[in-house]
Structure 1
């Protein structure tokens, strides 16, 4: 039989002095193997003094960065939980190098 779960997400945005900060909180409602029930991601965006101030763009950038931060934390939590049950860790993703590849070595 199928299993359906709803995880609420709360998003907080603060705009002040040309800077937007975002915090996104994911509530899983259950305790994972490492004990976390809430994961939080953070992101910021700043308007350059030379650019026109368009708050919606700052919102999009800050929220996108907060969600990317949250996604990384969620994947790390899943990796940790996999290790806790003895499952092999996922293969690391291949990094694509741009520019001076010797600097990546």
Structure 2
């Protein structure tokens, strides 16, 4: 059965005066929303390169969001009566 969906993702970046960059990424599936968070800190001895802080904070927020999405999928799999995935991977590789 063919299936097509479009999910919206928004990434928000905030940098404080102290060299802290925070990221919030929101995934909207149309029926639910998940929010991931990430933070990066610039060491006082390092050069202030905002792009690096953005990349680190955004990457960490997306990693957090990805884990939440995987956890949600596992709960949904269990909800339809399928066994929880084991540590031994079968089927398609990632």
**TM-score, normalized by the shorter chain, greater than 0.5:** yes
Whether 1:46 and 2:47 are equivalent positions in the alignment is no
5+ residue gaps in structure 1?
31-36, 94-105
Aligned residue number for residue 13 of structure 2:
13
Unaligned ranges ≥5, structure 2 = 89-94
Matched, 1:91 2:80: no
* DSSP-derived class of the 2:51 partner: helix
Q: Give how far 1:92 is off.
A: 3.4
Give the Cα–Cα distance (whole angstroms) in 2 for the partners of residues 79 and 65 of structure 1: 21
TM-align CA RMSD: 1.1
TM-score normalised per structure 2 = 0.88
**How many residues of Structure 1 are paired with residues of Structure 2 in the alignment?**
87
Partner of 1:24: 25
TM-score (ref. length: structure 1): 0.79
Which residue does the alignment assign to 2:2?
A: 2
